Structure 1
């Protein structure tokens, strides 16, 4: 870790001398996701990140991946403008639990990003918990949790909030509105947004097939009587004409002249929730029931034919229930207990055109009638003294998976699998002073294989023949985190060192058809396997400091190293080292300027044996952004911003694409946004 410490020292020194940084907030950030109760970040022995509606407005991001880019401990992979996948400390979408208002977004995502089905235009706050969090959130939370919190219906409030914006690089525009009507006992909130994006431009020209449309609608009704609240919530989003240029691959029939690209003519998310909250003097009970449908069309476009050669229509349907009770023993001691249950089912309807003419389509369903059921019971104890805090959590999960068949009906037996896991977490913090709060966190997390990893067998649109593994073992991870936080009105910071070992790491491994007979006659073949173990370690740091009454500076650092202990080489798809510097200047009560400089180191620690040429070394790059905030009235804000100011040609290390021909990031863009309340 000597390199990490030296980089951190240089960054902190630079921040203390230069006028480069982001805004320091007078009030400390709070997070619900870390413990299930709203807690001040600097007083919580967990590494968290919270971006409120003002920060999301200033980021002018089209999706969650865009909003999190450059944050400490987070990287973003990309296969399109829409498909921006966050990585938390080197672990990607399969190992991150995604939530909206605390409810899981269950889906299988062969291309694009599930986080893109969570609209930012209507968001209140975006929260991230870094590190193993299965003790509260169950299977999948090895890397952490991302929770998008939407507006809640508010009693005794009448308001309308609206927003509009446009950007030059993709000729995009977006509109959003949220209205609330409340009385003493009733509250109603409705919101809607629409965004239209053309193909964006890179410094080398237009990036083909990167435009799309997105429409969102949310609503909530609340009723209260004494200590009881009832709520009904609705969320829906529809995205149209989505293409994933990063998925372009040669077709096996003639790799030299034929390519295919995955696209989704439309995808939808529909969620309905009914909930009850009872608040008493000694505790609070919350009960919710919800249903969610994630509908996707996943097609493969053949460039030599100008038509689709694969069509796949599938819906991932989830029914869930959560019960949580918080018991207040006293002002410094809270006991919490909860039960989570969800069941996801799917049965893809996939048709594939047959070579050589590609005019006849036949059924090629990867699996049928698949189902995953998860039940978890957890206990959490939050105890604090005058100068210390202790949070302990324990959880038991049971996960079962089954399917009617796989490999287009070729296999119908031996498909059921069950996993049982005990997760836990112990985290402690000691307050030396408000600016010096060291903490330690030890956690155990787990992840059962998802539906595609277990059951998807047969040819995929990327040209590989996949061998599903119904009996693949669940991953288990042990993580140690040492950190320090602190904050007042002049300075806020958090530094964390983390080390995680993941056993039975689940991945798709390229197979040799001459050795693995399950590949049959297929030249390009992959199988879901367990690696013995991998190790991920690193450091992330976030510092924000007032340099004067009107100016503030900040530094954000991300360094992560992954090691494949089976093959004794770097772990596949580890993000590059990052350093982000920023500056904010308040020149008048209504005028503020800011700038951000993101520096990304070259990534040469690539998997050679495991990836077999699918992972390139990535050159270093840096990008500069600048913005102006103007408040023409108390409840109205205007932001003019320029991103990639120097029109740099680059792509992230985690960009998907043909080796050496990954999709470049957008070039220089000027964006203008307005937000107002009435």
Structure 2
């Protein structure tokens, strides 16, 4: 079930949005019976399809129906709008906002793992996972698990893991849809998808093209993408292949000072900068059951090319600095699951291997760096459902991973080839229990880790490669209610050693291992049925991110809002009309270079409002959607004290038409 949130108060009324949503949840018991049960969907479990009863503890599931009702135009937007995940404006005009689970600021993308159909999308570089290249109409569901998840997902899963699953099958016959939309800033979006069920064989394909001048000058973005798959299902399992390809071109508007932002947030001081991204991936997969034993594997290969050009003018000498990266990644992930029953208890034992090879060649005016990394991991996890009546669950797991790295930069500070090998362990223990009807509690404890990537190691403070970042993770939670109305509360703490971060106080700034830091706080999810056809929900994250030792002891980490409140209200009367309204309030935060907390100003708090109304007319659906409806002038990315500001988008309205057949 997804987290759905509702605007119970105007955006300016900050804490009331949460209070109102909780009140709705606790007082809607009489309306529960009016809402039919939401159809069950299978979830990933321990990297295998599982019954919803064995869903990851504390996870959020967003279905294809949720995505369509909210009118999300891409996967990144669906995660932010429906899942309540905080995101910061992208720097390149793309819709790929930097997603942040549990307050990791500028390095949020390196502290969460993004998976697509069991294949890792997060990579060995300082770059966010590009989710906009996944055709949104091909998505079957999205699962968000907050908190340490390195046992199953490895490097970087301290903040959590986001998994995207595309369609795994199709109804018999041929079905599809086409969507066209247009909006302000010369925005156009064309999408088409087709699926066919031909006995045991299913085929699907999705394609799209998006174009927009975007809110700021020199921020035009264009993208075309395609994803298609074929699979053969038989009595004991299935085999198949998926192909994905995308092309992006972006103009790069650059940053502004506070004075420039106030004068005109739409302006650009880098009118000639631009970049592009080309990516292609093919994945083969297989699943097979032998009695109570399930075997599964993915073999995936991805090739990516990134280009950029930045204009410079130093001392009257002008020109362009150009860079090009060509990277490849191959992943092989076989695993096995054994299900068994003993004395009325259900046991799930999962073991697997992740083998990933990554390499990158660089051709730039300032660097010819070549880099590679091989990682080899083995993991095991056992979960027992020991009291089905009270949903008693206990799970323990462990992972060991070895990273072999090579790096050389003939134009950098040293032309010597650098090789290193680092190993890291993760573990976790989780338990949940329904202490009363409609009341459940859970606890999680474990260790997660993050390794320094190639970009961090190539510009570091130490003579040797940076140390691995480790986190001791703890979570305590409780849920109240049922599928028709539920309140979930999670208290969490992450004690980090050797956090990998860019420290602006060292020289001109460099990557380093920080003194000990901590993330701790509370997350609250509330969702309920107000009346027949009306659903409301909310998500709150309160996080305190601070140094816990060293010269910065007690000071706040940068680019981390202490409070984020998201709320949504959905109206589905069943007569072909739907409406969806959402609001988000984000509290103030430290500027990106303010490690000493000495900047006299902070990034201001802000609130935004979005909405969508749709009407079905036979096979057609017509919709009007708007984002930042109050046209708030704000920013979420600022890397200097009142400077280095990347303004967020202003108001945008969009009309769309969809045809289903």
CA distance in 2, matches of 1:337, 1:111: 30
CA distance in 2, matches of 1:429, 1:13: 25
Superposed counterparts of 1:231-630, under 5 Å: 231-243=240-252, 245-246=254-255, 263-302=273-312, 309-330=320-341, 332-351=346-365, 364-365=366-367, 367-368=369-370, 370-384=371-385, 385-386=387-388, 387=390, 388-405=392-409, 408=412, 410-413=414-417, 415-433=418-436, 435-455=438-458, 457=459, 470-510=464-504, 513=507, 525-565=508-548, 566=550, 567-568=552-553, 569-587=555-573, 589-603=575-589, 608-610=594-596, 617-630=602-615
Q: 1:307 to 1:38 in 2, by over 3 A?
A: farther
CA distance in 2, matches of 1:191, 1:448: 35
Superposed counterparts of 1:112-261, under 5 Å: 114-154=130-170, 156-168=172-184, 170-200=185-215, 207-243=216-252, 245-246=254-255
Any conservation in 2 of the 1:155–1:186 contact (CA below 8 Å)? no
Any conservation in 1 of the 2:21–2:527 contact (CA below 8 Å)? no
CA distance in 1, matches of 2:150, 2:272: 32
Q: Does residue 632 of the first structure (1) align with residue 617 of the second (2)?
A: yes
CA distance in 2, matches of 1:605, 1:665: 15
Superposed counterparts of 1:88-99, under 5 Å: 88-91=101-104, 92-99=108-115
Task: Give the superposition deviation at 1:596.
Answer: 2.3
CA distance in 2, matches of 1:556, 1:248: 32
- What secondary structure, in the 3-state scheme, does the structure 1 residue paired with 2:139 have? coil
Q: 1:277 to 1:585 in 2, by over 3 A?
A: closer
Any conservation in 2 of the 1:477–1:500 contact (CA below 8 Å)? yes
Any conservation in 2 of the 1:74–1:86 contact (CA below 8 Å)? yes
Choose 151-160 or 342-351, whichever is displaced more. Answer: 151-160
User: Equivalent residue for 1:669?
Assistant: 652
With the length of structure 2 as denominator, give the TM-score of the two structures. Answer: 0.85
Q: Does residue 87 of the first structure (1) align with residue 104 of the second (2)?
A: no
Task: Give the superposition deviation at 1:371.
Answer: 0.8
User: Equivalent residue for 1:254?
Assistant: none
Task: Give the superposition deviation at 1:552.
Answer: 3.0
Q: 1:307 to 1:235 in 2, by over 3 A?
A: farther
Residues 374-394 of structure 1: CA deviation (Å, up to 9, x unaligned): 111111112112220122211
CA distance in 2, matches of 1:488, 1:17: 13
- What secondary structure, in the 3-state scheme, does the structure 2 residue paired with 1:608 have? coil
CA distance in 1, matches of 2:56, 2:298: 28
Q: 1:165 to 1:485 in 2, by over 3 A?
A: farther
Q: 1:155 to 1:31 in 2, by over 3 A?
A: closer
Task: Give the superposition deviation at 1:212.
Answer: 0.7
Any conservation in 1 of the 2:45–2:54 contact (CA below 8 Å)? no
User: Equivalent residue for 2:9?
Assistant: none
CA distance in 1, matches of 2:339, 2:610: 46
* Cα-Cα RMSD: 3.4
Residues 494-547 of structure 1: CA deviation (Å, up to 9, x unaligned): 22111011111111223555xxxxxxxxxxx33221113110011111111112
User: Equivalent residue for 1:357?
Assistant: none
CA distance in 1, matches of 2:112, 2:321: 29
CA distance in 2, matches of 1:47, 1:620: 28
Task: Give the superposition deviation at 1:344.
Answer: 0.5
Number of corresponding residues: 620
Task: Give the superposition deviation at 1:111.
Answer: 6.4
| Structure 1 unaligned residues grouped into runs of 5+ | 201-206, 250-257, 352-363, 458-465, 514-524
Any conservation in 2 of the 1:247–1:656 contact (CA below 8 Å)? no
Task: Give the superposition deviation at 1:416.
Answer: 1.6
User: Equivalent residue for 2:265?
Assistant: none
CA distance in 1, matches of 2:502, 2:277: 25
CA distance in 2, matches of 1:436, 1:366: 58
Task: Give the superposition deviation at 1:210.
Answer: 2.2
Any conservation in 2 of the 1:69–1:75 contact (CA below 8 Å)? yes
Choose 325-334 or 494-503, whichever is displaced more. Answer: 325-334
CA distance in 2, matches of 1:111, 1:533: 24
Any conservation in 2 of the 1:301–1:307 contact (CA below 8 Å)? yes
| Structure 2 unaligned residues grouped into runs of 5+ | 1-13, 29-33, 259-267
Q: 1:61 to 1:299 in 2, by over 3 A?
A: farther
Out of 623, 647, 653, which is 2:631 matched to? 647
CA distance in 1, matches of 2:623, 2:317: 42
CA distance in 2, matches of 1:45, 1:190: 29
- What secondary structure, in the 3-state scheme, does the structure 1 residue paired with 2:65 have? helix
Any conservation in 1 of the 2:349–2:381 contact (CA below 8 Å)? yes
Q: 1:188 to 1:584 in 2, by over 3 A?
A: closer
Task: Give the superposition deviation at 1:437.
Answer: 1.4
Any conservation in 2 of the 1:492–1:543 contact (CA below 8 Å)? yes
Q: 1:377 to 1:512 in 2, by over 3 A?
A: closer
Task: Give the superposition deviation at 1:570.
Answer: 0.6
- What secondary structure, in the 3-state scheme, does the structure 2 residue paired with 1:245 have? coil
- What secondary structure, in the 3-state scheme, does the structure 2 residue paired with 1:13 have? helix
Any conservation in 2 of the 1:60–1:673 contact (CA below 8 Å)? no
Task: Give the superposition deviation at 1:112.
Answer: 6.7
Task: Give the superposition deviation at 1:248.
Answer: 9.3
Q: 1:376 to 1:616 in 2, by over 3 A?
A: farther
CA distance in 1, matches of 2:453, 2:432: 35
Choose 372-381 or 434-443, whichever is displaced more. Answer: 434-443
Q: 1:617 to 1:381 in 2, by over 3 A?
A: same
